Amino acid sequence: MGLCAVLAAAGGLVTAPVLAQSQPPLALDRFDPAPAGDRMFGVQSPFVAGHLTPHVTLLGDYAHNPLVLRTTSDDKSVGAVVSSQLFLHLNASLALFNRLNVNVDVPVALFQAGDDPSGGGLHFTSPKKAQFGDLRAGLRLRLSGSYDDLFQIAVGGYAWFPTGSSTGYVSDGKVRGMPQLIVGGRGDRLVWSVAGGPEFSSAVTFAGVPQGTLIKAGGGVGLLLGESRRLQIGPEIALALTPDSIGKRTTNAEVLVDVRYRVFDDVELGVGAGPGITGGIGTPDLRAVAMISYSPEQKRVIPDRDQDGVSDEQDACPDVAGVPSDDRAKNGCPLPKDRDGDTIADSVDACPDVAGVASPDQAKNGCPLPKDRDKDGILDPDDACPDEAGIASDDKTKNGCPKPPDRDGDGVPDASDACPDVKGLASPTPAFNGCPEDLDGDTIKNVVDACPNEKGPADKDPTKNGCPKSVRVTEGEIIILQQVQFDSGRATIKKVSDALLDEVAGVFKEHREITRVEIQGHTDNTGKARENLKLSQDRAESVKAALEKRGIDAARLAPKGFGQEVPIGDNKTNAGRTANRRVQFKIQEKAPRK
């Protein structure tokens, strides 16, 4: 059985005479990339995306076994003339006037390989290096339909120029041209496109298979997924046949399933793959494509005839510019006339030429409010203090007037508060008004406490009820009703005075407002004056030390001896001298009581 040169693509057979002769140049790749910015990989779209809008795509196109040599007798493979062909396309478009699209495609065969097969006296040299393909220029004119219409129509076409090598299966060495009719459209979740026309080319025979003018057609559908419709999935089909010799060796058909995703507003990625389903020259058994594209997203145009920002379908007055409204009957309609600009229509404005405020009283609706000079929200006619911000009051004489000062915030004004710095209660007794109910905390209420500022026990005698037994506090002195007892001629405090000093210490603890007390030591005139002065100072120091031991801060205590210089009794009598031998607690500094 003799060998014959037989070409097959994707399993189809193409017989060739057994002649030892060179073969004509062949542009093997049957994949025509759609212009950058279109919705399909290999099918033109009818729309034109924008005005002066550029679109640029870098697309890879790989074909596996697009040209294989087989025996005619048993269809066995002799070898692949071209087993792999990888093209990189730089594709750019410019949209003009939303109607005209200009496109250029620059193909480069980055990788080609084959087996250099021979058979029946023919030898085929497989391509082995990267080569430029034929430069393609395209033009498309949109005739009808806008970007978002479901049906659109356009005319366009391509022209190829022989910029590729005539020996590398990337060019046929001649100018080719293809006019097309293009229809398609876009719905809410769907895009579709169909394009077709003749590709005019010189007639040649390659390995016994006629090549030349082709009738080409393609179609594609894409489903738009996701809330933003950025994901597109769908099939494409491409068909090419030689009208003068229709058969399986001259027919090319491929299916491509592709996925595209717009990762940013202006950047889109895509991949696709699919089989060849006929045996024509250039039909691979598998084709794969991938692309990255700069293609500014075309936002959906919402009809708005009056350009007021309210779409026609929601505009109750679509031909007159208006304003949005929640009332569908008024949405997009002009506002009623309002001469004073107070948003109250003249038809219901009682003061249509003076800006005012809304009022349920029709006689005042749209009229200005009376003045409020102090800006306290109480209008001057009702404000008893119109020039001084205040608060509302049911008392007309106080309405709009400020609250009187009340430092402790107990509701009793400072002017009548007997304890303006201590929260208390209102009282009909001026001396206790604004003071706590039990000022000294001895459980005896102020009204029956003969000493309301000092803790003391209850006593049947009203003049002593609530008064301390040994210590009293006045404005300027802590008065002790007994005297501190010392050893004769010494500063040692006798044990008998411990209870008295305990009570004095308690007064200091209760009256934190007393911050400094002078502890005065006094003597009678018995003995020398210098010795008496020192004795009185020592006794004052002893009292200070005793109080410190009882927890009183030393900073509050200032001991000072006066000797015999400040008598309160007659030193000529025993009673007078006893009175002069004393300790006094004079208050020097006080803080406000809290």
- The predicted-structure confidence for 398-447, as pLDDT tens digits, reads as follows 887 888 887 777 778 888 877 887 787 778 878 777 787 777 777 887 77
What SS3 state is found at 351?
A: coil
All domains of the chain in start order, with CATH: 5-294 (2.40.160.40), 468-590 (3.30.1330.60)
CB 209 within 8 A of CB 281: yes
Handedness of CA 563, 568, 572, 575 (dihedral sign): negative
CB 63 within 8 A of CB 27: no
Query: What is d(CA 269, CA 289) in angstroms, rounded to the nearest whole number?
Result: 11
The number of beta carbons lying within 10 Å of the beta carbon of residue 399 is 16
How far from 90 is each of 29, 274, 332, 354, CA to CA, in Å?
Answer: 16, 22, 47, 68
State the DSSP H helix or E strand holding residue 546, giving kind and residue range, or none if neither.
helix 529-549
Whole-number pLDDT of residue 141: 96
The number of beta carbons lying within 10 Å of the beta carbon of residue 530 is 9
- Please name the amino acid found at residue 424: G
CB 441 within 8 A of CB 424: no
Query: What is d(CA 113, CA 133) in angstroms, rounded to the nearest whole number?
Result: 16
Whole-number pLDDT of residue 301: 64
Query: What is d(CA 373, CA 334) in angstroms, rounded to the nearest whole number?
Result: 37
The length of the chain is: 594
Among all chains, which residue has been given the structure tokens 């590729």?
164
What's the half-sphere exposure (Cβ side, CA atoms, 13 Å) at 41? Answer: 34
Query: What is d(CA 169, CA 28) in angstroms, rounded to the nearest whole number?
Result: 5
| Closest C-alpha to 261, from 232, 290, 289, 288 | 232
What SS3 state is found at 273?
A: strand
Query: What is d(CA 256, CA 275) in angstroms, rounded to the nearest whole number?
Result: 7
| Residues pairing with 211 in the sheet | 204
- Regions of the chain where pLDDT drops below 70: 1-22, 71-73, 75, 120, 247-248, 300-301, 593-594
What SS3 state is found at 131?
A: strand
Query: What is d(CA 36, CA 291) in angstroms, rounded to the nearest whole number?
Result: 10
Whole-number pLDDT of residue 339: 84
Tokens matching residue 355: 């800006």
Backbone phi and psi for residue 430, each to the nearest 5 degrees, phi listed first = -55, -35
Q: What is the DSSP string of 360-387?
A: SSTTTTTBPPPP-TT-SSS-GGG-SSTT
Name the burial class of residue 397, with classes exposed (0-12), middle (13-18) and buried (19+) by CB atoms within 10 angstroms of its CB: exposed
Helix/strand/coil (H, E, C) string of 69-137?
Answer: EECCCCCCEEEEEEEEEEEEEEEEEEEECCCEEEEEEEEEEEEEECCCCEECCEECCCCCCCEECCEEE
State the DSSP H helix or E strand holding residue 502, giving kind and residue range, or none if neither.
helix 498-510
CB 302 within 8 A of CB 148: no
CB 425 within 8 A of CB 410: yes
What SS3 state is found at 587?
A: strand
Tokens matching residue 25: 């140049």
First to last CA, the chain: 125
Query: What is d(CA 355, CA 122) in angstroms, rounded to the nearest whole number?
Result: 99
Query: What is d(CA 578, CA 103) in angstroms, rounded to the nearest whole number?
Result: 126
Query: What is d(CA 23, CA 70) in angstroms, rounded to the nearest whole number?
Result: 17
Query: What is d(CA 138, CA 195) in angstroms, rounded to the nearest whole number?
Result: 14
CB 105 within 8 A of CB 135: yes
Among all chains, which residue has been given the structure tokens 């009719």?
181
Q: What is the DSSP string of 316-343?
A: SSTTS--B--SSTTTTTBPPPP-TT-SS
